[in-house]
Copies of this chain bind each other. A is one copy, B any other.
Amino acid sequence: MSFNTFGRVFRFSTWGESHGPALGAVVDGCPPGLTLSEANIQPFLDARRPGTSRFTTQRQEPDAVRILSGVFEGRTTGTPISLMIENVDQRSKDYSEVAKAYRPGHADYAYDAKYGFRDYRGGGRSSARETAARVAAGAVARLVIPEVTLTAYVCELGGDAIDPARFDAAEIARNPFFCPDPEAAKRWEAKVDAARKSGSSLGAVVECVASGVPAGWGAPLYAKLDSELAAACMSINAVKGVEIGDGFAAARLSGETNADPMRPGTDGEPEFLANHAGGIAGGISTGQPVVVRVAFKPTSSILTPVETITRDGEASEIVTKGRHDPCVGIRGTPVVEAMVALVLADQKLLHRAQCG
Q: Contact: B33 with A113, CB < 8 Å? A: no
Residue from the list B23, B130, B252, B307 in contact with A261, Cβ < 8 A: B307
What chain B residues lie within 8 Å of A239 (beta carbons)?
A: 226
What chain B residues lie within 8 Å of A253 (beta carbons)?
A: 203, 297-298
What chain B residues lie within 8 Å of A31 (beta carbons)?
A: 354-356
Total A residues in contact with B, Cβ cutoff 8 Å = 156
What chain B residues lie within 8 Å of A81 (beta carbons)?
A: 15
Q: A57 CB to closest chain B CB, in angstroms? A: 14
* Interface CB pairs A-B, < 8 A, 23: A4-B26, A4-B28, A5-B13, A13-B26, A17-B70, A33-B117, A102-B262, A105-B255, A107-B282, A109-B262, A110-B280, A111-B282, A113-B214, A116-B355, A202-B255, A203-B252, A230-B231, A230-B234, A235-B283, A240-B246, A251-B329, A253-B298, A254-B298
Q: Contact: A256 with B304, CB < 8 Å? A: yes
Q: Does A21 contact B (CB under 8 A)?
A: yes
Q: Contact: A80 with B113, CB < 8 Å? A: no
Known contacts being A68-B22, A349-B354, is A110 close to B255, with CB within 8 Å? no
What chain B residues lie within 8 Å of A301 (beta carbons)?
A: 255
Q: How far is the CA of A34 from the CA of B223 in the complex (A)?
A: 22
Kindly specify which of A163-171, A178-186, A270-278 makes contact with the partner chain.
A270-278
Q: Contact: A104 with B28, CB < 8 Å? A: no
Q: How far is the CA of A349 from the CA of B253 in the complex (A)?
A: 40
What chain B residues lie within 8 Å of A268 (beta carbons)?
A: 313
What chain B residues lie within 8 Å of A216 (beta carbons)?
A: 110, 113-114
Q: How far is the CA of A123 from the CA of B329 in the complex (A)?
A: 39
List CB contacts (< 8 Å) of A16-74 with chain B.
16-17, 20-24, 26, 28-33, 66, 68-70, 72
What chain B residues lie within 8 Å of A151 (beta carbons)?
A: none
Q: Contact: B300 with A215, CB < 8 Å? A: no
Q: Contact: B6 with A222, CB < 8 Å? A: yes
